[in-house]
Amino acid sequence: MRMIVEMVSELKAFFHPENVAVVGASKTPSKAGHTVIANMLRMGYQGIVYPVNPKAEEVLGFKAYRTVKEIPGKVELAVIVVPAQVVVDVMRDCAEKGVRAVVIGSGGFSEVDERGAELQDEIIKIAHEAGIRVVGPNTSGIVSTPGNFTTTFFPQEKVRRGYASYVAQTGNFATHTMRWITTAEYFGVSRVIGLGNKCDVDDADAIEYLGEDPETKVIAMYIEGFKNARRFLEVARRVVRKKPIIALKGGRTVAGAQAARSHTASLAGDYAIVDAALRQAGVIRAKKYMDLVNFTKAFSLQPLPKGNRVALVMPSGAMGVITADACESLGLEVAKLSKGALQRLTDISPTWIRMSNPVDIWAAAQIQGVEKAYELGMEALLEDENVDAVIATLMLVEGHSTMDLKFILEMNRKYNKPMLITVTGDKQLFEAAKEELETQGVPVYPPLEAACEALAAMAEYMRFRSRETANE
Residues 6+ apart with CB under 8 A from 55: none
pLDDT for res 399: 81
pLDDT for res 7: 64
Cβ pair 152, 287 in contact under 8 A: no
pLDDT for res 265: 45
What is the C-alpha to C-alpha distance for residues 52 and 37, in angstroms, rounded to an integer?
Answer: 11
pLDDT for res 8: 72
By residue count, the chain amounts to: 472
- In the DSSP assignment, the letter for residue 261 is H
Q: How is the beta sheet containing 19-23 ordered, strand by strand?
A: 48-52, 19-23, 77-80, 101-104, 133-135
CB atoms within 10 A of CB 44: 11
Q: Which amino acid is at 63?
A: K
pLDDT for res 268: 46
CB-neighbour burial class of residue 59 (10 A; exposed 0-12, middle 13-18, buried 19+): buried
Q: Chain-centre distance of CA 460, in angstroms?
A: 18
Q: What domains can you pick out in the chain, each with its CATH number? A: 2-298 (3.40.50.261), 303-471 (3.40.50.261)
pLDDT for res 272: 81
The tens-digit pLDDT sequence of the chain (472 residues) is 556 666 678 899 999 999 999 999 999 999 999 999 999 999 999 999 999 999 999 999 999 999 999 999 999 999 999 999 999 999 999 999 999 999 999 999 999 899 999 999 999 999 999 999 999 999 988 999 999 999 999 999 899 999 999 999 877 888 899 999 999 999 999 999 999 999 999 999 999 999 999 999 999 999 988 889 999 999 999 999 999 999 999 866 555 455 544 444 444 457 788 888 999 999 999 999 999 999 999 999 999 999 999 999 999 999 999 999 999 999 999 999 999 999 999 999 998 888 999 999 999 999 999 999 999 999 999 999 999 999 999 999 998 888 999 999 999 999 999 999 999 999 999 999 999 999 999 999 999 999 999 999 999 999 999 887 767 6
pTM: 0.93
Select from 102, 292, 77, 290 the least CA-distant residue to 199. 102
Longest dimension (CA), the chain: 83
Q: How open is the CA angle 201-204-209, to the nearest 5 degrees? A: 80
Q: Which amino acid is at 403?
A: M
pLDDT for res 454: 98
User: Which residues in 330-362 are b (16+ Cβ under 10 Å) and which e?
Assistant: bebebbebbeebbebbeebbeeeeebebbbbbb
Cβ pair 85, 119 in contact under 8 A: yes
Cβ pair 424, 393 in contact under 8 A: yes
Q: CA 127, 129, 133, 135: dihedral to nearest 10 degrees?
A: 20
